C-alpha cells in the first residue's frame, strides 16, 4: 500500500532534469523578451516615418517664427540640408534603420539628437523626463493594486452583504469611465471649483527644485490629483478582478474543507481564500501595467507634468522621430521588463507552475 | 445506551426567490457510538445535503429549515443545529470531522500537506512538535509515509490525496466522522484498501462513522447499520445483515436487487429516475416508481415506523392501520 508513496521522493536525476527544465524556461522566456523588444522598436521606427509631414519643414517653420523673419529659399535649402545630415534622414530607410539599431545597441543607447530640444541628445531628454512618469505611474499602479486587492478580497469575502454589492456597482462605474474623464473631473472640481488641491504643473510656479520642505510638499500635493486619477480607474479594475477571483476560490472544495476543519474565519480567509486568489491577481498586475501606461501619458498632458507623455506629444507635433521612438522604446522596455519579472516570479508563488514550467 | 448523535425532524432545502424547496425532509436518525452507519441512496437523493447539514456546512442557497441534532459527548450534549459558530468551531475536528465529497479537490493546491494537516491542530492548541507527531501518526493509519508532509497536493495520486484527507480528519481522534462518497472517484483496488483502512481506524480509535455512498457494495463491505434514503427521506433503517437478507421497503428491495453480483451478470436496475427536489411527488415520494403501489400511497406520507427488532420502515405496506383502511 505504500508503493505509490515512493513517487514523492525525487531522485537526483529527476532533480537535475527539473533544474535543466527551469533553466530552459528562463532562457526561452528571455528570448521572447528580446524578440518582442526588437519587434516593437522596428515597428515604431517605420510607423513614425509614415506619418505625413517633413520634420525639417516643421522645424524650419518654428525657427522662422521664433526669429520673426523670413529667409530666402536658398538659405532655407542650406539649413534644411544641414539638419537632414545631422539627423541622418537622407539615407534610404533600410540604411537609416540599420544605423539606428547599430547606434542604439553598440553606441551606448545613442538614440540620436532630438529635434524638440536640439541639440540635446534624445537619450538625455528621456532620462530627464522619465522620473516623472515612473514616479506617477508606478506609485499609482502599485497603490491601486494594493488597495484594489485588499478591497476586492474583502467585498468578495462578504459577497452577500449590501455594502459589498454597492461597492461592486461603484467599482464597475469607475472602471468603465475613461481615465481622462476622471482626471478632468478632478481638475475641474477639486482643483478649480473647490480649490482643495493644485491641479496643474509639477510644483508651484514660484519654486525651484531644491531640497527644501516647501518644494517637496509642493511636489507631493501637485502629485496627488494625477495619481488619484490613475488610481481610481485602475484600482476599480483591480478591485473587481480580485473580487471575482475570491468568489471563484470561495466555491472551491478546499474552502469547504478548511471551514470543516474548524479554522478561524481569519485563517480561512488568509491561508485558503486570499492566498489562492492572489496568484492570478499578480499576473493581472503585469497585464494592467502594459495596458495603463498610455493612461498615464494622457494624465501627464492634462496635468501639465513634464513626463514622457508630454514629451511624446511635443515630439509628435514636430515629427521628431528620434524622440518618439525613444519614448516608445522606453515604454515597451518598462512594460516588458515588468512582465518578465512577474513571469519569472510566479513559480515562487505557485507550486503548480514550478513543475509545469 | 443513548445515541452519540440524535437527529430529529431534520429538514434542509434550497432557498428560491419565493419559497424553500425541500431537499432533505424530516429525517430522524440515531447514530450509535462506535458504529459505521451507511447512508445509501441514488445520486441526487440528498445525501450530501444531509451530510453538510450535520456538519453545519450548508452554503446558500442551501438552508437548514428545522430539526435538532443532539451530539452527546462526555462533557455534555450539544445541539449542532443551534450551536453558535464559535462553539461549533471548537467542536470541529476535535469531535466532529468531515471527509467531503470530491475530497480530491479538498486540499489547497498551494499549501504543503504538512501545513494543511497541522494548521487546525495548532489552532486547537497543540504545539508545533505535537502537531507534527500527530500528523505522522495519522498518516501511518492510512499507510502513508511521513515524507508526504513535504509534498504539494498535485504531486500526489488521487488515492494518496484521499488518504491525506482521511488522516487529517482523524488526527484529532474525533468522536464522529462524516464521510461523503469516500471512494467514489477511486479505482476498485484503492477503494477496497481505503475502506479497510477506515474500518481499522474505527477499531483503533473507537470513532463513529457516518459513511455516505450511492454504492450498496460499499455499505455491504464495512457498515454495521444502513439508512436507505429516497428523495430526501429515510425509507428504511436497519442492520446491514438484516436489510441485505430481507429488505422490507420496495425501494430497498430494488437497490439490493440491482447490485451486480458476479462479473458480467446483468441485473435489472430500478425502472424510472430519482426525482429532483423540485419534482418530489406527494404522498409516498417513491410511489411513481413503486411496483407495490396501492390506494393510499399517492396521498398519505408513510411514517418511519419500527418493524421487527432493529428495523424501521417508511412504507404503507407495513403499517397495519393504513392496510386496514385500504
Ligand atoms: N447548492 C445547490 N444548488 C442547487 N441545487 C442543489 C444544491 N445542493 C443540492 N442541490 C440539489 O439537491 C439535490 C440533492 O443533492 P445532494 O444532496 O448533493 O444529493 P446526493 O449527495 O445524494 O447526490 C440534487 O437534486 C441537487 O441538484
Ligand atoms: S408506501 Fe406505497 S408507494 Fe411507498 S413504498 Fe410503500 S407501497 Fe410503495
Ligand atoms: Mg453527494
Q: pLDDT tens digits, residue range A195-215? A: 888 888 888 888 888 888 989
In contact, B277 and B204? CB cutoff 8 Å: no
Q: What nine digits make up the cell of A217?
A: 510638499
- pLDDT higher for B317 or A48? B317
Report the side by side order of strands in the sheet with B176-180: B96-99, B176-180, B208-213, B36-40, B225-230, B233-239, B311-313, B305-306
Of A38-47, A163-172, B68-77, the one with minimum mean pLDDT is A38-47
In terms of pLDDT, which residue wins out, B198 or A84?
A: B198
User: Between chain A and chain B, how many beta carbons pairs sit less than 8 Å apart?
Assistant: 104
pLDDT value of residue A357: 41
Between strands B76-79 and B62-73, the pairing is antiparallel
Mutate to test the pocket of ligand 2, among B230, B296, B317 (most ligand atoms within 8 A of CB): B317
Of B289, B293, B318, which is best to mutate to test ligand 2, by the most ligand atoms within 8 angstroms of its C-beta? B293
| Distance in angstroms (rounded) separating the CA atoms of residues B259 and A205 | 89
pLDDT at residue A168 in the model = 93
Q: Whose CA is nearest to atom 18 of ligand 1?
A: B48
Give the pLDDT of residue B241: 95
pLDDT band at A4 (very low <50, low <70, confident <90, very high): very low
* Min distance A262 CA to chain B CA atoms (Å): 4
**In a mutagenesis test of the B interface, which of A6, A11, A254 is the best target, namely the one with the most B β-carbons within 10 Å?**
A254
B179 three-state secondary structure: strand
* Mean of pLDDT values over A1-6: 42
Written as tens digits, the pLDDT of chain B (326 aa) is 789 999 999 999 999 999 999 999 999 999 999 999 999 999 999 999 999 999 999 998 999 999 999 999 998 999 999 999 999 999 999 999 999 987 778 999 999 999 999 999 999 899 999 999 999 999 999 999 999 999 999 999 988 999 999 999 999 999 999 999 988 878 888 889 999 999 999 999 899 999 999 999 899 999 999 999 999 999 999 999 999 999 999 999 998 887 766 555 545 567 778 899 999 999 999 999 999 999 889 999 999 999 988 999 999 999 888 777 76
Give the Cα separation of A82 and B93 in Å (integer). 85
Over the stretch B194-241, which tens digit does the pLDDT of each residue have?
A: 999 999 999 998 999 999 999 998 999 999 999 999 999 999 999 999
Residue with cell 441534532: B69
- The DSSP code for B16 is -
Residue B258 in contact with residue B268, Cβ under 8 Å?
Answer: yes
The Cα B120–Cα B173 span in angstroms is: 13
From the list A126, A180, A130, A134, the residue with the least C-alpha distance to A289 is: A134
Please name the residue ranges forming H helices in A51-158. Answer: 55-67, 73-87, 93-106, 122-157
pLDDT score for B313: 96
Q: Which of A1, A7, A263 sits opposite B120 (nearest CB)?
A: A263
Query: What pTM value is reported for the model?
Result: 0.83
Q: How far is CA A157 from CA A251, B110, B192, B286, in A?
A: 11, 19, 39, 41
B217 Cα distance to chain centroid? 15
- pLDDT tens digits for B82-125? 999 999 999 999 999 999 987 778 999 999 999 999 999 999 89
Report, as an integer, the average pLDDT of A217-221. 90
Nine-digit cell string for B177: 466522522
Alpha-carbon distance B67 to B10, whole Å? 4
CA-wise closest residue to A149 among A289, A296, A275: A275
N- to C-terminal Cα distance for chain A? Answer: 31
pLDDT at residue A118, as a whole number: 73
Pick the ligand that lies closest to the CA of residue B22.
Answer: 1
Q: What is the pLDDT of residues A260-284, one digit of tens each?
A: 999 999 999 999 999 999 988 988 8
CA distances B11 to A33, A269, B66, B233, B316, Å, are 60, 30, 5, 9, 22
Please, what is the average pLDDT of chain A?
85
The residue whose grid cell reads 474623464 is A181
Amino acid at each position: 500500500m505504500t508503493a505509490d508513496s515512493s513517487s514523492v521522493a525525487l531522485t537526483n536525476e529527476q532533480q537535475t532534469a527539473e533544474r535543466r527544465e527551469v533553466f530552459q524556461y528562463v532562457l526561452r522566456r528571455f528570448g521572447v523578451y528580446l524578440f518582442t523588444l526588437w519587434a516593437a522598436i522596428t515597428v515604431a521606427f517605420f510607423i513614425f516615418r509614415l506619418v505625413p509631414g517633413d520634420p525639417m519643414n516643421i522645424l524650419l517653420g518654428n525657427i522662422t517664427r521664433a526669429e520673426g523673419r523670413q529667409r530666402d529659399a536658398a538659405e532655407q535649402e542650406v539649413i534644411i540640408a544641414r539638419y537632414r545630415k545631422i539627423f541622418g534622414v537622407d539615407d534610404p530607410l533600410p540604411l537609416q534603420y540599420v544605423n539606428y539599431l547599430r547606434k542604439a545597441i553598440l553606441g551606448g543607447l545613442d538614440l540620436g539628437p532630438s529635434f524638440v530640444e536640439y541639440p540635446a541628445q534624445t537619450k538625455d531628454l528621456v532620462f530627464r523626463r522619465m522620473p516623472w512618469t515612473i514616479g506617477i505611474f508606478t506609485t499609482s499602479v502599485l497603490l491601486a493594486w494594493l488597495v484594489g486587492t485588499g478591497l476586492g478580497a474583502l467585498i468578495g469575502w462578504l459577497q452577500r452583504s449590501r455594502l459589498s454589492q454597492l461597492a461592486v456597482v461603484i467599482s464597475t462605474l469607475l472602471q468603465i469611465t475613461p481615465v481622462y474623464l476622471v482626471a478632468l473631473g478632478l481638475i475641474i472640481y477639486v482643483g478649480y471649483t473647490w480649490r482643495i488641491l493644485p491641479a496643474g504643473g509639477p510644483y508651484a510656479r514660484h519654486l525651484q527644485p531644491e531640497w527644501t520642505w516647501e518644494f517637496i510638499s509642493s511636489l507631493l500635493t501637485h502629485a496627488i490629483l494625477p495619481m488619484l486619477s490613475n488610481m481610481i480607474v485602475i484600482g476599480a479594475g483591480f478591485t473587481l478582478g480580485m473580487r471575482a477571483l475570491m468568489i471563484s476560490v470561495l466555491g472551491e472544495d478546499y474552502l469547504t474543507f478548511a471551514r470543516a476543519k474548524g479554522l478561524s474565519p481569519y485563517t480561512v480567509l488568509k491561508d485558503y481564500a486570499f492566498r489562492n486568489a492572489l496568484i492570478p491577481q499578480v499576473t493581472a498586475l503585469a497585464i494592467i501595467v502594459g495596458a495603463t501606461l498610455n493612461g498615464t501619458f494622457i494624465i501627464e498632458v492634462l496635468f501639465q507634468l513634464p513626463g514622457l507623455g508630454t514629451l511624446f506629444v511635443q515630439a509628435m507635433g514636430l515629427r521628431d522621430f528620434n524622440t518618439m521612438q525613444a519614448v516608445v522604446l522606453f515604454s515597451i522596455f518598462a512594460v516588458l521588463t515588468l512582465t518578465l519579472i512577474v513571469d519569472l516570479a510566479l513559480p515562487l508563488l505557485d507550486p503548480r507552475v514550478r513543475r509545469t514550467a | 445506551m443513548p445515541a452519540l448523535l440524535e437527529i430529529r425532524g431534520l429538514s434542509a432545502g434550497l432557498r428560491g426567490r419565493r419559497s424553500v424547496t425541500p431537499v432533505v425532509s424530516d429525517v430522524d436518525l440515531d447514530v450509535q457510538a462506535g458504529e459505521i452507519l451507511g447512508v445509501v441512496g441514488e445520486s441526487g437523493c440528498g445525501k450530501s445535503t444531509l451530510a453538510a447539514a450535520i456538519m453545519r456546512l450548508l452554503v446558500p442557497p442551501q438552508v437548514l429549515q428545522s430539526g435538532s441534532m443532539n451530539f452527546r459527548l462526555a462533557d455534555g450534549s450539544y445541539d449542532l443545529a443551534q450551536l453558535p459558530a464559535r462553539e461549533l468551531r471548537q467542536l470541529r475536528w476535535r469531535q466532529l470531522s468531515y471527509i467531503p465529497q470530491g475530497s480530491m479537490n479538498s486540499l489547497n493546491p498551494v499549501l504543503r500537506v504538512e501545513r494543511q494537516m497541522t494548521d487546525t491542530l495548532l489552532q486547537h492548541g497543540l504545539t508545533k512538535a505535537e502537531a507534527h507527531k500527530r500528523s505522522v501518526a495519522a498518516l501511518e493509519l492510512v499507510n502513508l509515509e511521513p515524507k508526504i508532509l513535504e509534498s504539494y497536493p498535485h504531486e500526489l495520486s488521487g488515492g494518496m490525496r484521499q488518504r491525506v484527507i482521511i488522516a487529517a480528519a482523524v488526527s484529532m481522534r474525533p468522536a464522529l466522522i462524516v464521510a461523503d462518497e469516500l471512494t467514489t472517484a477511486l479505482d476498485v483496488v484503492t477503494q477496497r484498501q481505503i475502506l479497510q483502512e477506515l474500518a481499522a481506524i474505527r477499531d483503533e480509535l473507537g470513532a463513529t462513522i457516518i459513511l455516505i455512498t450511492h454504492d450498496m457494495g460499499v455499505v455491504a463491505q464495512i457498515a454495521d447499520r444502513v439508512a436507505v434514503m429516497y428523495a430526501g427521506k429515510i425509507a428504511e433503517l436497519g442492520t446491514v445483515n438484516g436489510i441485505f437478507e430481507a429488505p422490507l421497503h420496495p425501494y430497498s428491495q430494488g437497490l439490493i436487487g440491482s447490485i451486480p453480483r458476479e462479473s458480467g451478470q446483468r441485473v435489472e436496475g430500478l425502472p424510472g429516475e430519482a426525482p429532483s427536489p423540485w419534482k418530489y411527488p406527494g404522498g409516498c415520494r417513491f410511489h411513481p416508481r413503486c411496483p407495490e403501489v396501492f390506494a393510499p400511497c399517492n396521498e398519505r406520507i408513510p411514517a418511519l415506523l419500527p418493524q421487527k427488532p432493529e428495523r424501521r420502515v417508511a412504507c404503507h405496506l407495513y403499517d397495519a392501520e393504513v392496510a386496514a383502511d385500504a
